[in-house]
Structure 1
Amino acid sequence: MPALVLAFCALGGAAAVTEPGPVDPVAEPPTTATAPTTSPAPKAGPSPSPTVDRVLPATKPPEDLPVISYVHVPKGFPADPSPASLAHLPEGLHPKHKLAVYDAPGGKPRAYLPSTIRGVTVIVPVVAKKPGWSAVLLPSVNRRIGWLPDHGWRAETLRDQVVVRLGERTLTWWRDGVQQKTWTVAIGSERTPTPLGRTFVLGRTGTHGEVYAGLDALVLGAVPDDRGAVAPGLKDAHTGIHAWYRKSVFGRNVSNGCVRMPKDAQETLLANLAAGTPITVVA
């Protein structure tokens, strides 16, 4: 499978990366318990409302528009209007070819979204709709969205959802709005916190070393909020979810930003979560 880079608690480029000492290696995405909680199920969304608004046309993008990559997203994209929303996002989209992403319906094209990143198929969750347009979460940048015209992509059903609660240090997996499992996990340290907000599973990557229990890591679209706070080799890494060999870390703030899971929990996630699965990290 293609290799993605994790920041080992902050995923990065195209090859698994590890933190100094026992770290959390999370690389780019190359191409699963405890008793369930009783918190209310996330509400389904988004669902387009009936409207008579006209469809705003898409400006033709220039050929030299930059392409979103594993490490770079051009500026100018709007903030996610609901970064802490726990509403289930049931639809994703996969670009059939590189597509221009706009800063608003009928707005300015800012970059191309490719169909693959480092060999991994790109599937991004849809967070909002307007006539003729869909807003999606973007990879390689935190809490930003982009708008795509409603053509040139294939819709994907997203059944699963993950909620990480930093205050409780828990990760909960939902399917079709029904809570499946909750685990106590390790999260980012005070210096290298796990990024808040909505993101998604970009892909998965192999890991190196027994500290990861011999299991692949899930690479997320999120990146470190402060790239300067992580080790130099991890500054271009992405945040990830991966197994950890020591039970003593669970329930603590000790990683470079990644979420560390018990081995059986990671096996469950790997067996069930597909690319594009929405992840929401809340305080």
Structure 2
Amino acid sequence: MPDPDEHENPGGDSTADRGDADSRAAEQPPPRPAGRGRVRILALLVLAAAAALTAVAVASRADTPAPNAPNAAAAADTAAEADQVVAPAAVTDAQLAALPQETTFADLPTAPKDPAPGQQPDGLVLHPRTAVPLYSKPGAAAIAALPPTQLGSDTWVPVIGEQPGWALVLLPGRPNGSTAWLYRDDPRVDEARTPYVLRVDRAAYRLELVKDGATVRTWTVGVGKPVSPTPAGRAFVLASIRDTKPTFSPIVLPLSVHSDTYTTYGGGPGTVGVHGWPTDGVYGKSSSDGCIRVPPDALNILSSDVPLGTPVLIR
């Protein structure tokens, strides 16, 4: 984050061209967060493959008797039950509309916490074409609704866990590290994959761009000051905002995490973002109010190549 008089507002609504997310076809892959004057969607779409049911083989040692027929049948029944999809709790349109909207402005303390905040997701990302319910666990009551757009960009959330028919996803609101279960078999939900991961090492002031498991670019960046540190954990690229009257950065990439110091900032909810800076004296230092300040070439690459929903690992 910049100093307050720089008017950074990744979570607010001033001076920002919110993009043209609503005009995109639902079948498009997760968008790349900017480019040539407006937000572009360039990520590769991978058609969702139906999960294949695998036969359960009961292995036994040569000196161990094979199970009798009733026990073998019971084992097969147990395996079949484990692969059964838990049906989602019914949610009417009226109930869905009344649920809290899970956006960067949300605060959902009842949401499950990220079970492995240091683990790298595999790149699967989901997009709701219309608002869909979020659940604390498969089969439980809905706790929130995930809208199709965030800050003018299509909503793409990374998958961090799976059960048959369900996906555990990171959420864009407070508290940091919030998650929820999304019914993956919902026909309103699109799937895609991002080959990228962003890794931020705060102590080393380093940002790595990783593609298909290999580091392709590294930059020295600025991070939060000791009094307003950049929060650690798993996050993701939430949106892309092009500032029509930039004072510090032509493009801001809001992340899914928020400042632990500021509950509000510049009219927004304290959303942490990735953005540029007018001078290069801020890089290699704890210089921001929580945001990640990157050099111009980093901002150009991240805003043109990296799809929305791409995981960001901050340590």
- TM-score, normalized by the shorter chain, greater than 0.5: yes
Partners of 1:221 and 1:121 lie apart in 2 by 14
Partners of 1:148 and 1:103 lie apart in 2 by 9
Structure 1 residue 165 corresponds to structure 2 residue 189: no
Deviation at 1:119, TM superposition (A): 2.8
**Counterpart AA for 2:228:** T
Map Cα deviations across residues 104-134 of structure 1 (whole Å, 9 max, x no partner): 1222310010111243210001111011211
- Structure richer in helix, relative to its length: 2
Structure 1 residue 179 corresponds to structure 2 residue 212: no
The two structures have a TM-score, normalised by structure 1, of 0.79
Paired position in structure 2 for 1:188:
224
Partners of 1:169 and 1:23 lie apart in 2 by 24
**8 Å Cα contact 1:186/1:255 also seen in 2:** yes
SS in 2 for 1:221: strand
**8 Å Cα contact 1:89/1:278 also seen in 2:** no
Partners of 2:124 and 2:297 lie apart in 1 by 28
Paired position in structure 1 for 2:303:
270
Spell out the pairing of 1:184-263 with structure 2 (5 A cutoff): 184-207=220-243, 208-212=245-249, 215-228=250-263, 231=265, 233-234=266-267, 236-263=269-296
Paired position in structure 1 for 2:89:
59
The two structures have a TM-score, normalised by structure 2, of 0.72
Spell out the pairing of 1:1-283 with structure 2 (5 A cutoff): 9=1, 19-22=3-6, 25-27=9-11, 30-31=18-19, 52=80, 53=82, 54-61=84-91, 62-63=95-96, 64-85=98-119, 87-141=120-174, 142-150=176-184, 151=186, 152-207=188-243, 208-212=245-249, 215-228=250-263, 231=265, 233-234=266-267, 236-282=269-315
**8 Å Cα contact 2:222/2:292 also seen in 1:** yes
Question: Where in structure 1 are there 5+ consecutive unaligned residues?
Answer: 1-8, 10-17, 33-47
Partners of 1:205 and 1:165 lie apart in 2 by 24
**Counterpart AA for 2:251:** D
Distance 1:25 1:244, change over 3 A: farther
Partners of 2:150 and 2:7 lie apart in 1 by 25
Distance 1:225 1:184, change over 3 A: same
Two-structure CA RMSD over aligned residues (Å):
2.3
Distance 1:25 1:248, change over 3 A: farther
Distance 1:108 1:227, change over 3 A: farther
Aligned length: 246
**8 Å Cα contact 1:243/1:266 also seen in 2:** yes
**Counterpart AA for 1:156:** A
SS in 2 for 1:239: strand
Question: Where in structure 2 are there 5+ consecutive unaligned residues?
Answer: 20-32, 34-50, 55-78
Map Cα deviations across residues 223-271 of structure 1 (whole Å, 9 max, x no partner): 112334x65x356131110111222111111111100011112112112
Partners of 1:120 and 1:270 lie apart in 2 by 13
SS in 1 for 2:307: coil
Map Cα deviations across residues 142-178 of structure 1 (whole Å, 9 max, x no partner): 1011101121300011111100011111100011111
